[in-house]
Amino acid sequence: MIDQDLHLGGPAASMARRLESAGALVHALVHPLVAGRSEDAGSAALLEELTLPVAVFEAARRAPRFANGAWRALHGDDGAAFLRGHVDEVIRTGAAIHLAEVALSPDDGIGRCAATLRPLGDHGGGGTAGAIVVCAVITDEVIARELGAGPDALVWGGPGGGAPDYFNRAWCAYTGWSGAEAVSRPPAHPWQDAIHAADRPGCVQALDEVERRGAAELVARVRRADGGYRRHRIRFETSARRWFGVAVDVEAACAEAERAEQLACEQRARAEAEQSSQLKERFLAVVSHELRTPLTTMLLWEKTLRDESADAALRAQALEAIHQSALSQSRLVEDLLDVSRAISGKLHVDLRSLEIERVVSGALDAIAPAAHAKGIELVRAGGPAVGEVLGDCIRLRQVLDNLLANAVKFTDLYGKITVGVVREASSIAITIADTGCGIAPEVLARLFEPFTQLDVSLNRANDGLGLGLAIAKQIVAIHRGELTAASAGVGHGATFTLWLPLAEPASAGTPASRVTRAPSLGGNRVLVVDDDRRGREALTMLLERTGAAVDTAESAQSARVRILRNTPDVILCDIAMPGEDGHRFLRRLRASGTNIPAIALTAHAREKDAESALAAGFDLHIAKPIDFDRLVEAIAELITDRRPELLEHRG
């Protein structure tokens, strides 16, 4: 009962009142001992059991006549020298004294205690026979106050640069060490043993940094007495030539933060999934529109061509409409493929030194009719650009064509587009500024992302998939350049700037570029292998116009028969064919020892489709829709390069 009444963590009361109550109880136990001048075994036993340090000082010799075990453990047998002056004062004045905080030893920078001293009456002479001293160790409370630590914080420390020699009660209780054992003998194992192995290096490093920075903080797992771990926020700091570690349990807070983060991640994932789904729906809607529109145009004008009453002018108009619609579909497919290549990192360019002025002038000449049709003033700022860049002429034209087409598309009637080219120290800057509808800030931030700027409303003013800028950004990046957009907002126009690095000066021995002429296939035999009759017939007709002798086959088996009858100079072969596809056909042809040049003509236009074709033995892979002029050039080059082998094979 006495221990419970005097427990420092008990009911809320001041330390002075608690020690005063303890002093009164001790006085009641000590009184019969002093008054009778004989030992009272029961009273002595009760005093010995007290967990608070208690001692009775004699007035005559200022030394303890009685001290319990807690006192001896704290002060030793000799008594507390630091209290003797206060003992003298109590005996001299007969008045009680309360010491709120006093060092246990002048040389000890850690230990603190509170003490109450009350006079012990001399029942014989009526004077003061001595003093009763009751102490309470408050080291933990003092250090916690100095460090700003709460009552539940785990605190430990040691001399600067030395091993720990102090562990508070909370630390000992949490890790399984009793308070009395910790006071008399610190844990034998280093404090690091209580830290999770994975977090230990970080804690040791943080403690090392304290000497330089004065404080360090991190979260680490600390082992409980039962072997489990809980996360604590650990702060290391220095105070009065000592270092201290303060650990506060944050497991609940961390778990709550993790749950909140997990919930936020799930919400973001759902939002991204919904946005992705919406983008896919928007994308499919626009793709469907962009494919159906030119297809409808071609079918309608095709009916006009079938009308025998149509005159030559109407037929020419129909052919032009069908041609433009086919080009529109071709551009759509190429845009989709370019985006796919860009995403997979397989968008390639053919980098060569070229005059940037030629590219810019060509793009301006191409866009001029569209600009003039809207009454837009197309202004070229400054003089011709001087300098070469290392680039792909076709791809750079693709970028400029897209930027200029957008400028015309989004500029109102009778607006203005200004194109400037400036040579800087190591780059050329091409600026395209328009007076058009401008770009909203929220759109500007994601302008170069594919699909995000699509408008699928029924009254949308502009066609296209919204892929051009995303592709342009990738092309410029491959050229080691930069493409940026700026706008003051809706209604204030937009400015796009393209930076390209200048090419290194060519060496004196660099040969001049060859001037090439459109090749002729006169006298060459071409075998066209395709199960599509219409495509096969159209390609045959065009090849025959170049002077080639064309043979056709609708299947791989038929092609082998044609080759045996009359060996061609080159084979143009489709890939997707029923029965035996183009890959298997060519692998078998190569396995037989036949080395005829072969070009794969296929609607399978991905990067890996080209790789598969080359692996099967094709010399080239050309994707449909076919650029016929490019095809003729490729045929001529292949035949020229392989002519000696072909002549030897035929001989």
What is the domain count for the chain? 5
CATH number of residue 7's parent domain: 3.30.450.20
User: Is residue 516 in some structural domain?
Assistant: no
Both 266 and 329 in one domain: the answer is yes
* 486, amino acid identity: A
Burial class (CB in 10 A: 0-12, 13-18, 19+), 147: middle
Helix (H) or strand (E) holding 99: strand 97-103
Residues 6+ apart with CB under 8 A from 129: 34, 58, 59, 120, 121, 122, 123
The predicted-structure confidence for 496-542, as pLDDT tens digits, reads as follows 999 999 987 654 444 444 334 446 788 899 999 999 888 888 899 88
Would you state the pLDDT for residue 132?
A: 87
Both 189 and 113 in one domain: the answer is no
User: Is residue 556 in some structural domain?
Assistant: yes
User: Is residue 508 in some structural domain?
Assistant: no
Both 211 and 120 in one domain: the answer is no
User: Is residue 529 in some structural domain?
Assistant: yes
Instruction: Tell which of 501, 533, 567 closes a domain.
Output: 501
Both 206 and 133 in one domain: the answer is no
Which residues does the chain have with pLDDT short of 70?
1-14, 31-42, 77-80, 106-109, 122-126, 177-190, 286, 289, 341-346, 451-466, 505-519, 643-651
Give the DSSP letter string of 110-150.
S-EEEEEEEEEE-TTTSSEEEEEEEEEE-HHHHHHHHHT--
Q: Write the CA distances from 38 to 48, 122, 176, 275, integer angstroms.
A: 17, 15, 42, 92
User: What is the torsion angle, in degrees rounded to the nearest 10, for the CA atoms of residue 500, residue 506, residue 511 and residue 517?
Assistant: 20
Task: Scan for tokens 């290549």, then name that residue.
Answer: 341
Instruction: Tell which of 215, 233, 249 closes a domain.
Output: 249
List the one residue out of 517, 521, 527 whose CA is nearest residue 547: 521
User: What is the torsion angle, in degrees rounded to the nearest 10, for the CA atoms of residue 554, residue 560, residue 562 and residue 567?
Assistant: 130
Under a CB-based contact definition with an 8 Å cutoff, are residues 596 and 646 in contact?
A: yes
Under a CB-based contact definition with an 8 Å cutoff, are residues 528 and 539 in contact?
A: yes
Under a CB-based contact definition with an 8 Å cutoff, are residues 420 and 381 in contact?
A: yes
Under a CB-based contact definition with an 8 Å cutoff, are residues 582 and 623 in contact?
A: no
Would you state the pLDDT for residue 6?
A: 42
Both 241 and 280 in one domain: the answer is no
User: What ranges make up the beta strands (E) of 424-493?
Assistant: 427-434, 482-486
Both 364 and 461 in one domain: the answer is yes
Q: Write the Ramachandran bin of 182: left for phi over 0, alpha for psi from -120 to 50, otherwise beta.
A: alpha
CATH number of residue 548's parent domain: 3.40.50.2300
Both 375 and 305 in one domain: the answer is no
Helix (H) or strand (E) holding 333: helix 312-343
Classify 57 as helix, strand or coil: strand
Residues 6+ apart with CB under 8 A from 165: 110, 157, 158, 159, 186
Both 633 and 580 in one domain: the answer is yes
Would you state the pLDDT for residue 15?
A: 72
User: Is residue 640 in some structural domain?
Assistant: yes
User: Is residue 394 in some structural domain?
Assistant: yes
Would you state the pLDDT for residue 8?
A: 43
Both 372 and 488 in one domain: the answer is yes
Both 358 and 485 in one domain: the answer is yes
As separate numbers, helices (DSSP H) first and strands (DSSP E) second, the chain gives 20, 22
User: Is residue 514 in some structural domain?
Assistant: no
Instruction: Tell which of 137, 157, 181 closes a domain.
Output: 137
* Domain carrying residue 451: 352-501
Both 380 and 495 in one domain: the answer is yes
User: Is residue 552 in some structural domain?
Assistant: yes
Whether the predicted model's global pTM rises above the 0.75 cut: no
Both 559 and 636 in one domain: the answer is yes
